[in-house]
Amino acid sequence: DAEITQSPRHKITETGRQVTLACHQTWNHNNMFWYRQDLGHGLRLIHYSYGVQDTNKGEVSDGYSVSRSNTEDLPLTLESAASSQTSVYFCASSESVAMGADTQYFGPGTRLTVL
Partner 1 sequence: QKEVEQDPGPLSVPEGAIVSLNCTYSNSAFQYFMWYRQYSRKGPELLMYTYSSGNKEDGRFTAQVDKSSKYISLFIRDSQPSDSATYLCAMSRGSNYQLIWGAGTKLIIKP
- For partner 1, the binding residues (CB under 8 A) are 39-45, 48, 58, 90, 92, 96-109
Q: How far is the CB of 16 from partner 1 (least distance, A)?
A: 28
Pick the closer one to partner 1 by CB: 38 or 62: 38
Pick the closer one to partner 1 by CB: 8 or 16: 8
Cα–Cα nearest to 19, from 49, 64, 54 = 64
Q: How far is the CB of 96 from partner 1 (least distance, A)?
A: 7
Cα–Cα distance, 16 to 23 (Å, whole number): 22
Q: 106 Cβ partners below 8 Å, 6+ apart?
A: 4, 90, 91, 92
